Amino acid sequence: MKNILIADDDQNLALLYEQELTDEGYRVDVVHDAQTAIERVKENPPDLLILDIRMPGMDGIEALNHILGINNQLPVILNTAYSNHKDNYLTWSANAYVVKSSDLSKLKTAINDVLTGEEV
Amino acid sequence: MKNTEQNLYHVLTTQRASLLSEWQRRVRHTSVLQLREDFDGHAPDDVLEEFFDLIVTQITTKQEYHLLRQRIFSGEINAFSPDAACRLLIALKKTVLKRLKNFTHNAEAIFDEILLRISAYYHEMRYRNLAQSQSQNLRQRNIEIARLLAVEKQRAAHLTTNNRIAQMALSTLDPDEIFRRIVHEVQQSFNYQHVSLYFVETHSNQMIMKARAGVYEKHFPEGYRQNVGEGIVGHVVASGNPIMANDVGNDPRRIIAFPQEKNTRAELCVPIKTADRVLGALDVLSRKKNGFNWTDVQSLTVLTDQLAWVIHNAHLFQETRELQDELVQSERLSVIGEMSARIAHEIRNPLATIGGFARSLQRAPTPDRIDTAARIISCEVTRLEELLTDILNYTRPRELELEPVNLPDLITDVYHQVGEGLEDRGIAYRQNAPSDLPETPVDPAQFKQVLINIFKNAFQAMPNGGKLHVHIRKKENQPHIEIEIRDTGPGIPAEIQDEIFKPYFTTKTTGTGLGLVISKQIVERHEGTLSFASHSDSGASIFIHLPDLSSRRPL
């Protein structure tokens, strides 16, 4: 069973992801800020990290840089409400960039593609 | 986005810094430098104090003021030597730049005023010194010019203060107008036949007549031009030295622009220059042969030195203003960018959550899921509704519906509404109010909105508990009621204190960043004020001052 770590400060949304991805057969772990996500990656690296960008304290883009510094093999999906962050070249090092939607199929496809090694 | 903004800001400030240093360098090397000895130590303390007071109350923060003052008094800057004035100006400009971020056109106006005062002060001191060293006759003339200039300055200063709004679009120091007035004053007070002011246009190597007064006023076409090196004026500009042609009719250098000009028998032309550059020339005509003497040369030289200053200032202002406009524009863009990111976040997150849970229910409506989903969906809908209210309140304020209200009761209600379920987070609430507090006319719904925003901020500042004290005060002889809401959170960091009343500014990742802005708007529509203080020991206070209308006419 693949382990997915979700970092999103929006607790309700994180709960939705947790439910849906558990249904899909993943083992899901949720944190609500970037700092905790970094610690979790250090202690117990997941198979995939889903990272929100706008979070209190350190934002997801900065966190992405730290995390890739620790483990540059870790697949990361940036999942954000704002499509324009895509213009920021710092986001290009993520394996996928998904704009948040109530329809989780895009996110699920991205997860599947990244975990099976197909680039999105 | 942040980076781009910072880069732009950096580029603009560097450009400005190099502009300023160039200006400073030029000023240092002009004849003004010679005046340095005359001025050092001569600045009266009261004048200094006045400037400093203006600066400290209107322009800078106290720390900046003390620093500036310390630099001046330590002798690092000699009080009001031209050099000191330059540095003072640069320091002020930097301050203005910093505060530009607030769009305080106010500060700009005050800055203009200070600049005017400094320059008026210069003119005055300069004339005073000069007058002492020259003949009685010349002294009177100079005093007269000084007076006229002072009147001009004062008029400009009045314009500055009265038309702060118009000034956003227009330059206060409209150089054309100043030049026009100066040539008229010179022509009239010295009774010259004609006076013209020429500027050098570097790229065409020509001189353009910028202003004129006297008998030929109608004869010269608008924008009359002459080549550098040709005619009396052309020679003066080319050489940088004055020419007194007391028999101009027989001077081979003369150019006649129109037949009537033959009535002129003498011409005196003085360059307007800085140490390294001739900016233009002042040309005066007389119908009498031998109409000029060295006194004329001296007083016109004094005048052209002033003009060089005016031109410097005008250029500097022009360039500074253009840079400021760019900066303001880029800030607007970044505000829009920030706003759209925030709104996207604020709308898309709840929508994704609501839709996601709805879909999940469609697929698997198990009882426990229905419970969770219903709770979360209603919570997210409330969030969206609040967002909509905030945006609408900000963009389209509602009319006030005032009614007398018992403030302590209203505040207690709001506290309970916001603080529901927060007791267990360890927040101790206390409220004091004078027993004889009159009922205060407020719009209850809107005023509640203000208090909700403030309480929410306070709660968020104390995630691990703390104390929340509300003090309502009514002091004798004061026309207002004060409400202080004090928390024991971390306080407001100095670096964001200038920002917190700006729209879309927030330290949180959720919310529109409009709460405090709307609150301030609402309080101000009650003719009150909203301010804050950050305490050095701990916590922050928000102060609401409402006018005590019980002592005034009923609304």
- Closest by CA to A64, choosing from A80, A53, A54, A56, is A53
Which CATH code for domain B403-551?
Answer: 3.30.565.10
- The residue count of chain A comes to 120
**Does A30 have pLDDT greater than 80?**
yes
Tell me how close the Cα of A5 comes to any Cα of chain B, in angstroms: 18
Closest residue in chain B to residue A8, using alpha carbons only: B349
Residue with tokens 């001025």: B39
Overall average pLDDT of the B368-382 stretch: 88
How far is CA B263 from each of CA B197, B247, B286, B503, B515, rounded to the nearest angstrom?
A: 20, 12, 9, 67, 74
Cβ separation of B508 and A56 shorter than 8 Å?
yes
Cross-strand partners of B199: B208, B280
Domains identified in chain A, total number = 1
Across B74-85, average pLDDT: 46
The pLDDT-based confidence of B67 (bands split at 50, 70, 90) is low
Question: How much is the pLDDT for B157?
Answer: 42
CB contact set of B158 (below 8 Å; sequence gap of 6+): none
The predicted-structure confidence for B262-320, as pLDDT tens digits, reads as follows 889 999 999 998 877 888 999 999 999 888 887 778 778 877 876 777 676 666 666 66
Size of interface A-B (CB pairs under 8 A): 71
Residues of chain A contacting residue B352, judged by C-beta atoms under 8 Å apart: 13, 16, 81, 100-102
CA angle B198, B203, B204 (to 5 degrees): 65
Nearest CA distance, B383 vs chain A (angstrom) = 12
Domain spans, chain B: 334-395, 403-551
The pLDDT, as a whole number, for residue B305 is 76
A10 touches B at CB < 8 Å = yes
Stretch B470-483: mean pLDDT: 85
Chain Cα centroid distance, residue B203: 33
Task: Evaluate whether residue A95 is within a structural domain.
Answer: no
User: Mind telling me how many Å the CA of A91 is from chain B's nearest CA?
Assistant: 13
- Is B372 in Cβ contact with A54 (below 8 Å)? no
pLDDT digits (tens, 9 = 90+) for B156-214: 543 443 333 233 323 345 667 767 877 887 787 778 899 999 999 888 899 999 889 99
Which range of residues forms the domain containing residue A2? 1-50
More confident residue, B61 or B445: B445
pLDDT for residue A79:
92
The encoded tokens of residue B541 equal 């206070």
Least CB-CB distance to B353: which of A13, A55, A88?
A13
Q: Check: CATH 1.10.8 for B334-395?
A: no
Find the residue in B nearest to A10 (Cα): B349
Report the distance separating Cα B69 and Cα B133, nearest Å: 33
The answer to whether residue A41 sits within a structural domain is: yes
> What is the CATH number for A2?
3.40.50.2300
Whether residue A43 is contained in a domain is answered as yes
| Position with higher pLDDT, B341 vs B286 | B286
Q: Which of B21-25, B157-161, B325-329 has the highest mean pLDDT?
A: B325-329
Instruction: Extract the tokens encoding A63.
Output: 């966190």
- Interface confidence, given as ipTM, is 0.83
- HSE-CB at B533 with a 13 A cutoff on CA atoms is 10
Global pTM?
0.42
Spatial contact of B359 and B34, defined as CB atoms under 8 Å apart: no
- Test B356 with A88 for CB contact under 8 angstroms: no
When the pLDDT of each residue in chain B is averaged and rounded to a whole number, the result is 71
pLDDT at B451: 92
In chain B, whose CA is at the least distance from the CA of A79?
B349
Q: Stretch B511-535: mean pLDDT, rounded?
A: 84
- Cβ contacts of B336 on chain A, cutoff 8 Å: none
Residue reference for tokens 């006229």: B148
At B390-446, the pLDDT tens digits run: 777 766 777 888 888 899 999 998 888 887 766 667 888 889 988 888 888 899 888
Provide mean pLDDT across the span B490-502: 78
* Contacts of B54 by beta carbon, 8 Å cutoff, 6+ apart: B110, B113, B114
pLDDT of res. B47: 44
Is the pLDDT at A64 greater than 70, yes or no? yes
In chain B, the percentage of residues whose pLDDT exceeds 90 is 15
Q: How many CA atoms lie within 13 A of B448 on its CB side?
A: 15
Pairing between strand B266-273 and B243-245? antiparallel
